[in-house]
């Protein structure tokens, strides 16, 4: 929850209590002024700020009314009665908030904050997949744009993908667009997966299901051999973590507990001690009694966990950052509120189709 402060000095004092171990004092002094002004404007404009778990610590701890993973923030967006939603996250998240709130102003503090997964698939790709697998339900990761959601039956996040797939009354599902999340879900649901490609109209078949999600290039002969159709999208951040990274860290720190996001490869997930959505990872570290952790996801989340768990040591692999999430700064969030920028809009014809898939996800429980 946002810090309620009566003055800049009060904001600075409260920020120090939370962040003194992870943010240098010179930075706290600057950020306290900005945070105070953002929270003042937020009230004046009847706005709500939603902050993804990847936001940098000073922003994360001070201005969002709610922080969380994509699923939690979608729920908060669906529930709010404020006039303006400022989304400190990336474009597909703000777009989802707009899909749910067509009559509210939804603002993203950067003119463009994309996502390699959202960019990996088009609405036309989904229509092509439906034509190849008629009658098979389309389950779409929330990390997609509105036009792709509009072609889908239900959205999922990493927080509920396994439960949603298990709940569908269909042995076979199309699961888009994250190849690794699909393989991780396939393994957990006991499904075998193929990854079709439109190039040359040939099916590139990969067997990645029931054993451990890691067998590749085994020819499958008939649709009876698979129950999940995936796609080739990858997160440019989680794709970079490797099993040898894990082995090297374990060799150096034998007591480390390793936690990974399911956008990591199945091999990395398998080599980790726990895997889950960003919020599930935060909760796992909080409830686990071990001295040292490595969280394989955007590195700023390690800072946020460290701030909340001062007696736990967080190791970080920070050479891999999400350039899109890192677009969002406190300075730009202040400008966002001051100048109503950058407004997210979704054409109504797309929104009315996309909202069905998003609302099904929210209603899923």
Rounded to a whole number of angstroms, the CA Rg of the chain reads 21
Exposed/middle/buried for residue 119 (C-beta within 10 Å: 0-12, 13-18, 19+): middle
For ligand 13P, how many residues bind (rule: CB under 6 A)? 12
What residue has token string 């706290």? 28
The yes or no reply on residue 160 touching ligand 13P (CB under 6 A) is no
Q: Compute the least distance from the CB of residue 82 to ligand SF4, in Å.
A: 24
Q: Compute the least distance from the CB of residue 87 to ligand 13P, in Å.
A: 13
Please give the C-alpha separations between residue 39 and each of 3, 34, 43, 341, in angstroms, as whole numbers. Answer: 8, 9, 6, 17
Which residue, 74 or 189, has its beta carbon nearer to ligand 13P?
74
Name the binder of 69 from ligand SF4, ligand 13P, none, CB < 5-8 A by kind.
ligand 13P
Which H/E stretch holds residue 51? strand 47-52
CA distance 317 to 246: 10
252, 310, 333, 295: which is closest to 51 by C-alpha? 333
Which residue, 136 or 182, has its beta carbon nearer to ligand SF4?
182
CA distance 179 to 176: 8
CA distance 342 to 333: 10
45 to 84: interface string for ligand 13P, x by CB under 6 A: --------x---------------xx--------------
297 to 316: interface string for ligand 13P, x by CB under 6 A: --------------------
Which residue, 70 or 80, has its beta carbon nearer to ligand 13P?
70
- Kindly indicate which of the ranges 33-41, 124-132, 149-157, 318-326 contains the residues binding ligand SF4, using the contact rule CB under 6 A: 318-326
The yes or no reply on residue 322 touching ligand SF4 (CB under 6 A) is yes
- Kindly indicate which of the ranges 151-159, 204-212, 213-221, 249-257 contains the residues binding ligand 13P, using the contact rule CB under 6 A: 151-159
Contacting residue, 71, 235, 282, 346, with ligand SF4 by CB under 6 A: 235
Which residue, 32 or 77, has its beta carbon nearer to ligand SF4?
77
Give me the DSSP letters along 75-114: HHHHH---SEEEEES-HHHHHHHHHH-TTSEEE-SSS---
Cβ–Cβ < 8 Å for 201, 162: no
DSSP, collapsed to helix, strand or coil, labels residue 164 as: helix
Contacting residue, 96, 144, 158, 300, with ligand 13P by CB under 6 A: 158
Judged by the rule CB under 6 A, the positions of this chain that interact with ligand SF4 are 90, 115-117, 143, 235-237, 263, 298, 322, 324-325
């Amino acid at each position: 929850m946002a810090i309620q402060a009566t003055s800049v000095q009060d904001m600075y004092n409260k920020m120090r209590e939370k962040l003194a171990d992870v943010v240098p004092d010179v930075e706290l002094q600057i950020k306290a002024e900005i945070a105070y002004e953002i929270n003042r404007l937020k009230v004046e404009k009847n706005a709500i700020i939603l902050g993804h778990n990847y936001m940098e610590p000073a922003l994360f701890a001070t201005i969002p009314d709610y922080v969380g993973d994509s699923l939690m923030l979608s729920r908060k967006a669906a529930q709010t009665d404020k006039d303006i939603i400022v989304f400190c996250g990336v474009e597909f998240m703000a777009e989802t908030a707009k899909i749910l709130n067509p009559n509210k102003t939804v603002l993203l503090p950067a003119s463009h904050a994309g996502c390699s997964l959202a960019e990996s698939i088009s609405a036309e790709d989904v229509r092509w997949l439906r034509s190849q697998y008629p009658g098979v339900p389309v389950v779409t990761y929330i990390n997609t744009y509105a036009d792709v959601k509009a072609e889908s039956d239900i959205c999922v996040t990493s927080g509920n993908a396994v439960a949603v797939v298990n709940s569908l009354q269909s042995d076979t599902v199309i699961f888009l667009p994250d190849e690794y999340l699909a393989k991780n879900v396939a393994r957990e649901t006991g499904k075998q997966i193929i990854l079709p490609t439109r190039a040359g109209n040939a099916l590139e078949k990969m067997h990645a299901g029931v054993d451990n999600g890691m067998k590749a290039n085994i020819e499958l002969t008939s649709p009876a051999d698979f129950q999940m159709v995936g796609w080739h999208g990858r997160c440019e951040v989680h794709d970079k973590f490797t099993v040898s990274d894990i082995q090297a860290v374990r060799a150096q720190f034998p007591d480390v507990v390793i936690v990974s996001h399911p956008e990591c490869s199945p091999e990395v997930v398998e080599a980790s001690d726990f895997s889950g959505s960003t919020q599930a990872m935060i909760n796992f570290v909080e409830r686990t009694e071990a001295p040292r952790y490595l969280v394989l996801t955007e590195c700023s989340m390690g800072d946020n966990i460290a701030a909340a768990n001062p007696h736990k040591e967080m190791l970080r692999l920070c050479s891999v950052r999400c350039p899109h999430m890192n677009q969002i700064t406190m300075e730009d969030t202040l400008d966002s509120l001051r100048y109503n920028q950058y407004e997210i809009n979704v054409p109504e014809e797309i929104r009315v189709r996309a909202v069905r898939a998003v609302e099904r996800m929210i209603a899923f429980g």
